[in-house]
């Protein structure tokens, strides 16, 4: 029956007894949470496995639950090493990343799903590299964008309920991309979502480890729940708290799953809150243990570059399927081979835009079959995920911008924001043109959806979310998600800075306004200089580049140098009357 799993879980060794957890583990956790709280305050101001012994205990799961008990192996403690990942550039060496202009727009055609597939014994559902994109932006229409937890959950439900398949979801890691309080909340909600979807193994990615260990541990090891997060060479606070590998039984087959963090990311870990070791040494040891369980299928979740993933698979050639976080852009249409191994390689792509499904068959000629699936608007929003996204937005509202770390910074010009109405005192024709554009209602669209787009998802208010506000109000950095001094801080605090106003493109206008009104006693040359600073030339792509800060590949796949003129015609406005 779909959703029935068995997890093998050995009896806890001495270090996993209740006394040990009370006297040793919980003090460590409480200390880490204290460090996490302090770190958050500062920011505001700026794989379970089964060991070989003892004998495993089988714990069946009720029919239809889809969520098994976690296997916690008795792990050998490694020497504690440093932890705390510093902020990393998206182009960190060893971690393949997408080009900045990667778009989310769906291709014109995708192959027919599961064409000529017989009934599989089970299917592995592959995901990873969500990178903070828990839902598509939707600003330019959800039909143009892929990804999101709500669509992913809908697809998993469809495979289980409509096709009657045993689905084993696994994830290669990096649920978030940035660090800070909002990312911590986003990771927690994603972890909750993955558990609701019945994920069986989730790797710890390089970006996940940017979070403070206490918050990360609280999200990955919830009270009275077994952890689905696993890593063979990284553990939070204590080796026993992060499963080294997992063995899952589904569809009458045993699957051994090992997750590993590549050396490029592992070497960057600092501090002593995370236990970690080199990838190959840990993988070699764990592979010997997991083979004692006589699994039917061995799976490696490699949060590493494409090259490093292949090297690990070649050095430990036990795996049938290798899932990598490496590669850029879209995942391949077919599984690839890895030289000198029996393994087939699957990529997950970036930003959670695709899912992969690998069917396992009793077929010696073709035991594995693969289908990549773009998460387009054809998959309806899952109700449980919509509820979770609403809770996420409510939590952001309750915390407020300051606690979320949205610290006000001085604009590079040194000038202050005055609001669109002030600009309109002289530029009446430009104001009249602006008022007819969507820019004039940008904040409204976060509070309530347009009449033609009323769905459960769009009913969620998002006007407390820094990642949304940055392009929907005046006076924010659109790419780094923080307000400038005198920029928008709330509907009540700064009502004159709502919507996407003049100063987002032309810059803060305090000095220019003061010069033109005579409040600033300056000469003609200085007045002209300030006027010139406010101009945004169409020539040389200057205006286009400014537009692209919000109309980027994630939020507006249709925007490009080829379509800029079309966009400009919609907002074209004169200068001074």
Tell me: pLDDT of 452 over 70.
no
CA dihedral 566, 500, 577, 567 (to 10 degrees): 0
For residue 450, what pLDDT is reported?
A: 63
CATH number at residue 466: 1.10.1130.10
For residue 35, what pLDDT is reported?
A: 40
For residue 145, what pLDDT is reported?
A: 86
For residue 454, what pLDDT is reported?
A: 66
For residue 446, what pLDDT is reported?
A: 92
Residue 331 token pair: 């995942």
pLDDT, one tens digit per residue, over 145-170 is: 899 999 999 999 999 999 999 999 99
E strand or H helix at 148: none
Q: Are residues 545 and 484 in the same domain?
A: yes
- Alpha-carbon separation of residue 351 from 126, 175, 334, 473, 516 (angstroms): 13, 9, 19, 25, 46
- Residue 297: beta bridge partners? 255
Coil, helix or strand at residue 482: strand
Q: Are residues 150 and 247 in the same domain?
A: yes
Quickly state the pLDDT bin for 8 (edges 50, 70, 90).
low
Spacing of C-alpha 313 from chain mean position? 26
DSSP states of 414-475: ------HHHHHTT-HHHHHHHTTSGGGGHHHHHHS--GGG--TTTTS--TT-HHHHTTTBSS
For residue 7, what pLDDT is reported?
A: 59
239 within a domain of the structure (yes/no): yes
For residue 268, what pLDDT is reported?
A: 87
106 within a domain of the structure (yes/no): no
66 within a domain of the structure (yes/no): no
Mean pLDDT to the nearest integer, 94-117: 57
Q: Are residues 501 and 530 in the same domain?
A: yes
Q: Are residues 424 and 364 in the same domain?
A: no
Q: Are residues 418 and 494 in the same domain?
A: yes
395 within a domain of the structure (yes/no): no
How long a stretch of residues is the chain?
577
Mean pLDDT to the nearest integer, 320-342: 95
E strand or H helix at 58: strand 56-60
Mean pLDDT to the nearest integer, 214-241: 89
Per residue in 28-52, is it b (16+ CB within 10 Å) or e — as a string?
bbeebbebbeebbeebbeebbbbbb
Check if the beta carbon of residue 65 is closer than 8 Å to that of residue 3. Answer: yes
Residue 31 token pair: 């200390």
Q: Which of 206, 205, 233, 204 is nearest to 221 (CA)?
A: 204
For residue 53, what pLDDT is reported?
A: 30
Of 354, 387, 420, the residue that ends a domain is 387
Residue 438 token pair: 């969507």
Tell me: pLDDT of 477 over 90.
yes
Quickly state the pLDDT bin for 456 (edges 50, 70, 90).
confident
For residue 449, what pLDDT is reported?
A: 67
For residue 70, what pLDDT is reported?
A: 33
Q: Are residues 151 and 24 in the same domain?
A: yes
Of 104-118, 223-237, 368-382, least confident by mean pLDDT is: 104-118
- Across 105-109, 315-319, 324-328, 516-520, the highest mean pLDDT is recorded for 315-319
Q: Are residues 227 and 177 in the same domain?
A: yes
For residue 110, what pLDDT is reported?
A: 64
Mean pLDDT to the nearest integer, 412-426: 97
Quickly state the pLDDT bin for 102 (edges 50, 70, 90).
very low
For residue 229, what pLDDT is reported?
A: 97
- Alpha-carbon separation of residue 139 from 256, 393, 550 (angstroms): 42, 17, 10
DSSP states of 167-228: EEEEE-S---SS-SHHHHHHHHHHHHHHHHTT--EEEPPTTGGGS-HHHHHHHHS-TTS---
Tell me: pLDDT of 575 over 60.
yes
For residue 57, what pLDDT is reported?
A: 31
Q: Are residues 414 and 372 in the same domain?
A: no
Tell me: pLDDT of 74 over 70.
no
CATH number at residue 293: 3.60.21.10
Check if the beta carbon of residue 262 is closer than 8 Å to that of residue 207. Answer: no
φ and ψ of 117, to 5 deg = -75, 130
pLDDT, one tens digit per residue, over 245-281 is: 999 999 999 999 999 999 999 988 887 788 999 999 9
Quickly state the pLDDT bin for 185 (edges 50, 70, 90).
very high
Quickly state the pLDDT bin for 105 (edges 50, 70, 90).
very low
459 within a domain of the structure (yes/no): yes
Check if the beta carbon of residue 376 is closer than 8 Å to that of residue 138. Answer: no
Sorted by sequence, the CB contacts under 8 Å of residue 383 that are 6+ apart come out as 456
Sorted by sequence, the CB contacts under 8 Å of residue 190 that are 6+ apart come out as 130, 134, 149, 175, 176
Q: Are residues 367 and 492 in the same domain?
A: no
Mean pLDDT to the nearest integer, 31-46: 39
Q: Are residues 186 and 321 in the same domain?
A: yes
The range of the structural domain enclosing residue 413 comes to 408-571
Check if the beta carbon of residue 16 is closer than 8 Å to that of residue 72. Answer: yes
For residue 513, what pLDDT is reported?
A: 96
φ and ψ of 411, to 5 deg = -65, 150
What percentage of the chain exceeds 70 in pLDDT? 79
Rounded (to 5) percent helix, strand, coil in the chain: 35, 15, 50
For residue 223, what pLDDT is reported?
A: 74
Check if the beta carbon of residue 282 is closer than 8 Å to that of residue 251. Answer: no
Of 353, 387, 421, the residue that ends a domain is 387
Mean pLDDT to the nearest integer, 6-30: 45
Tell me: pLDDT of 13 over 60.
no
533 within a domain of the structure (yes/no): yes
Q: Are residues 378 and 425 in the same domain?
A: no
Cα 424 from Cα 427, distance rounded (Å)? 5
Tell me the pLDDT of the chain averaged across its residues: 83
Mean pLDDT to the nearest integer, 545-556: 91
Cβ neighbourhood burial of 474 (10 Å; 0-12, 13-18, 19+): buried
113 within a domain of the structure (yes/no): no
Number of domains comprising the chain: 2
φ and ψ of 346, to 5 deg = -120, 135
Cβ neighbourhood burial of 113 (10 Å; 0-12, 13-18, 19+): middle
Tell me: pLDDT of 78 over 70.
no
Of 319, 353, 387, the residue that ends a domain is 387
Cα 476 from Cα 409, distance rounded (Å)? 9
496 within a domain of the structure (yes/no): yes
Quickly state the pLDDT bin for 138 (edges 50, 70, 90).
confident
Q: Are residues 463 and 362 in the same domain?
A: no
What percentage of the chain exceeds 90 in pLDDT? 68
For residue 101, what pLDDT is reported?
A: 40
């Amino acid at each position: 029956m779909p959703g029935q799993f068995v997890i093998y879980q050995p009896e806890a060794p001495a270090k996993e007894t209740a006394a040990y957890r009370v006297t040793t583990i919980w003090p460590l956790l409480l200390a880490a949470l204290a460090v996490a709280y302090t770190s958050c305050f500062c920011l505001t101001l700026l794989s379970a496995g089964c060991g070989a012994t003892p004998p495993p205990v089988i714990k069946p799961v009720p029919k239809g639950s889809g969520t098994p008990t976690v296997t916690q192996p008795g792990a050998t403690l490694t020497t504690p090493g440093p932890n705390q990942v510093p902020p990393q550039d998206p182009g960190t060496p060893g971690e393949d990343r997408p080009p900045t202009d990667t778009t989310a727009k769906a291709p014109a055609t995708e192959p027919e799903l599961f064409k000529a597939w017989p009934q599989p014994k089970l299917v592995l559902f592959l995901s990873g590299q969500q990178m903070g994109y828990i839902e598509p932006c939707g600003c330019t229409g959800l039909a143009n964008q892929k990804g999101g937890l709500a669509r992913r959950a809908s697809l998993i439900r469809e495979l289980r309920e409509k096709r009657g398949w045993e689905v084993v979801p696994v994830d290669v890691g990096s649920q978030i991309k940035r660090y800070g309080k909002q990312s911590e909340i986003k990771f927690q909600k994603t972890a909750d979502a993955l558990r609701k979807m019945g994920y069986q193994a989730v790797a710890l990615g390089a970006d996940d480890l940017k979070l403070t260990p206490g918050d990360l541990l609280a999200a990955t090891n919830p009270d009275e729940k077994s952890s689905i997060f696993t890593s063979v060479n990284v553990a939070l606070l204590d080796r026993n708290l992060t499963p080294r590998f997992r063995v899952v039984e589904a569809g009458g087959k045993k699957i051994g799953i090992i997750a590993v963090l590549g050396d490029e990311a592992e070497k960057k870990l600092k501090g002593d809150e995370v236990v970690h070791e080199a990838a190959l040494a840990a993988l070699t040891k764990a592979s010997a243990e997991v083979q004692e369980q006589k699994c039917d299928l061995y799976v490696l979740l490699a949060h590493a570059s494409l090259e490093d993933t292949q090297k690990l698979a070649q050095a430990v050639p036990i795996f049938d399927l290798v899932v990598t976080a490496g590669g850029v852009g879209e995942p391949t249409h077919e599984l690839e081979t890895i030289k000198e191994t029996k393994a087939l390689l699957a990529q997950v792509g970036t930003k959670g835009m695709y899912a992969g499904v690998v069917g396992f068959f009793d077929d010696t000629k073709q035991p594995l079959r693969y289908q990549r699936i773009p998460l387009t608007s054809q998959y309806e929003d899952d109700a449980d995920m919509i509820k979770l996204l609403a809770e996420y937005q409510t939590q952001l509202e309750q915390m407020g911008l300051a606690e979320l770390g949205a610290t006000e910074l001085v604009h590079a010009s040194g000038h202050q924001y005055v609001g669109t109405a002030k600009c309109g005192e002289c530029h009446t024709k430009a104001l009249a043109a602006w008022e007819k554009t969507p820019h004039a209602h940008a904040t409204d669209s976060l509070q309530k959806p347009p009449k033609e787009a009323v769905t459960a998802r769009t009913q969620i208010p998002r006007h407390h979310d820094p990642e949304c506000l940055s392009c929907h109000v005046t006076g924010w950095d659109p790419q780094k998600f923080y307000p400038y001094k005198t920029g928008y801080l709330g509907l009540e605090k700064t009502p004159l800075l709502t919507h996407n106003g003049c100063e987002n493109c032309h810059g803060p206008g305090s000095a220019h306004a003061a010069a033109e009104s005579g409040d600033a006693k300056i000469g003609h040359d200085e007045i002209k200089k300030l006027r010139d600073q406010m101009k945004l030339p169409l020539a040389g792509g200057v205006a286009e580049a400014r537009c692209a800060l919000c109309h980027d590949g994630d939020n507006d796949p249709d925007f490009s140098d080829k379509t800029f003129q079309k966009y400009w015609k919609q907002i074209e406005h004169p200068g001074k009357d």
